[in-house]
Structure 1
């Protein structure tokens, strides 16, 4: 008789699921903090030398949760060119993978894209033990020299203490192509902005957009804590020379009264430093519960109205560079089928979000000649 209570060991049964040991004796290990590597997505990296999304010692005291979540490396990228026949990666994380609804590959993994800006294609994701805080993973092994521009996306919901790039000792390492401009697109928001719950880093919507729009993207999504506080607004405004600011924080904004206070404060604070930069206010995507819970629907409609009216009022006062996007349309038909839990998008959801936002961003960039 079959023992139905016995654990099914899929990793043993399917060799494609196994984590194969890596052989690294012949590789040289390089720090991406050194030239010619380029690291994108961390505005304060040059100052603090840490893979962190906000300053280590901010001018203003940040909310504790925001300060902690800033250590998650969502949106970070390592860019370079190489002809190495092999490419591996070593990472030291701040903790193990522990999320119930997000794969370890998205929370704590790196993934690899090859190709020039605007023509990048996914190749592989790091394989590792999700319980481990240190791992080494082979990203490709051609067996011959082939030159590519490489983009490695950092983990979305974990901190990275160290990362090293392994290449053949005789491999050439060069700089990645420059962006079309040195002006970053800054996105502030919630867990959805941060990338919950993409299966791998490259599928967060900021990273998807970065593959089609040749600018640096700064992902400032703070899971559960995108609340629009003034001190956060002032800190974000410190990022120099932005091409655009996208505010996507309704889902964490609290009551209708809360967002009625924070949004009309956030935008003027940002305007003090960046008077003409396009600002795009995006209301939240459609949640599955919006269909069934009247109080949820009323809350969303009220907060969306606040955002629309705030933008309209600012435009009437002369700020023609602030815009509103109705986020309830971003996922399209069957929106509830694009989430893992009725709230957080799957890869399909993030792809639809990026596809919907891309023409808006492109049009505004063209209007402002960025």
Structure 2
């Protein structure tokens, strides 16, 4: 098979490609934004390739993609590996679980981080029809990867982006926590169902209404925008109502500097029982750590809500009021419980108390696709 250079026109959903000793590392935030807040945890989340995919046309019958993954693991708490999904003319034909790569093992009891090195991973795609098809290789939503080499037995060519471009900002749920693979994250489910091109700015634990994300969205080409806010400022206990409301207004103002008329959905949090009426901070339940299946709890005091502490109920009210206050005919408010509400929590409970599983991601994505089709 012949080598094919991995050029920027083959990669969708990334802000930029960093040249490394091995190849190219996709980043979902531009370098200037990463330098404004060089936090290791945000850096880990933005380098995980949620929504990033290689897209090209080819008459090949076989191809391979070599990547070098890197991830964070926890001592005594096994976590599923990331996955690469391959779609041909829109149909997923391969779900390839990653092996090898590097990982940093964190002992949560001691705080000691131990690095481990491993070999690259090769995704092999065979049985392609040998006629011109569109191939999408979705990179893992929960691991960073370096793109090392692409080989195919026929020429590979970039294709223009079809359909509208959708930029979405959110938390770990938007990034894909607890989803089995990259095409099963709710944002990917919605984008594929609605036929739009996704750029996923979901960052685990980091949807903090950051100004540099607003500027990133402001500068991004898009025909659809959505901003899903609330869960991280609650479980991080990072704001009170006094700071949250003007921060959201300022975030929207910045986005509108670059997209004055683009349809914009302001989405409030999904239902999450632990934080509905109890403020953060959120924490791991110590009892669950001993079982090897961690769950989250809310540790705040509901009596602090009158003094400005945030809960999901407070956030939903605030976001609805913000949307109503703004004289913006293209700003649309969506109550997140329409995507996942109390009834869904009965039939599809959050396995760790915070994040939906793959089946719930599918429900959320299918419902949101209907909203994408309206605007």
SS in 1 for 2:209: coil
SS in 2 for 1:110: strand
Counterpart among 205, 212, 232 of residue 186 in structure 2: 205
1:281: Cα distance to partner?
0.9
TM-score scaled by length of structure 1 = 0.77
Report the Cα distance in structure 2 between the residues aligned to 1:179 and 1:193, rounded to whole angstroms. Answer: 23
Asked if 1:246 corresponds to 2:221, the answer is no
Report the Cα distance in structure 2 between the residues aligned to 1:102 and 1:202, rounded to whole angstroms. Answer: 19
Instruction: Tell me what 2:29 maps to.
Output: 54
Q: How many residue pairs end up in the alignment?
A: 320
1:45: Cα distance to partner?
4.4
Instruction: Tell me what 2:156 maps to.
Output: 173
Instruction: Tell me what 1:33 maps to.
Output: 7
**Contact 1:60–1:231, Cα closer than 8 Å, also in 2:** no
**Contact 2:168–2:226, Cα closer than 8 Å, also in 1:** yes
Cα gap change, 1:176 to 1:134, in 2 (>3 Å): farther
1:273: Cα distance to partner?
2.1
Report the Cα distance in structure 2 between the residues aligned to 1:319 and 1:161, rounded to whole angstroms. Answer: 41
**Contact 1:331–1:338, Cα closer than 8 Å, also in 2:** no
Report the Cα distance in structure 2 between the residues aligned to 1:284 and 1:222, rounded to whole angstroms. Answer: 15
Report the Cα distance in structure 2 between the residues aligned to 1:55 and 1:86, rounded to whole angstroms. Answer: 33
Report the Cα distance in structure 2 between the residues aligned to 1:135 and 1:248, rounded to whole angstroms. Answer: 35
Report the Cα distance in structure 1 between the residues aligned to 2:315 and 2:128, rounded to whole angstroms. Answer: 56
- How big is the alpha-carbon RMSD for the aligned residues of Structure 1 and Structure 2? 3.0
1:235: Cα distance to partner?
3.1
Asked if 1:84 corresponds to 2:60, the answer is yes
Cα deviations by residue, 1:180-214 (Å, 9 ceiling, x for unpaired): 24xx2111111111111211111112222221233
1:327: Cα distance to partner?
0.7
Instruction: Tell me what 2:354 maps to.
Output: 343
1:142: Cα distance to partner?
2.2
SS in 2 for 1:272: helix
Report the Cα distance in structure 2 between the residues aligned to 1:131 and 1:173, rounded to whole angstroms. Answer: 26
Gap regions ≥5 residues in structure 1? 1-26, 365-370
Report the Cα distance in structure 1 between the residues aligned to 2:357 and 2:78, rounded to whole angstroms. Answer: 10
**Contact 1:125–1:139, Cα closer than 8 Å, also in 2:** no
| Map 1:261-340 → 2, pairs under 5 A | 261-289=246-274, 299-314=311-326, 318-331=327-340, 333-335=343-345, 337-340=348-351
**Contact 2:34–2:43, Cα closer than 8 Å, also in 1:** no
**Contact 1:97–1:131, Cα closer than 8 Å, also in 2:** no
SS in 1 for 2:6: coil
Cα deviations by residue, 1:240-271 (Å, 9 ceiling, x for unpaired): x3212211121112345142232121111211
SS in 1 for 2:36: coil
Runs in 1 of length 4+ with deviation above 6 angstroms?
Answer: 46-49
Cα gap change, 1:98 to 1:86, in 2 (>3 Å): farther
TM-score scaled by length of structure 2 = 0.76
1:102: Cα distance to partner?
4.8
1:284: Cα distance to partner?
1.2
1:78: Cα distance to partner?
0.6
SS in 2 for 1:228: coil
Report the Cα distance in structure 2 between the residues aligned to 1:259 and 1:355, rounded to whole angstroms. Answer: 30
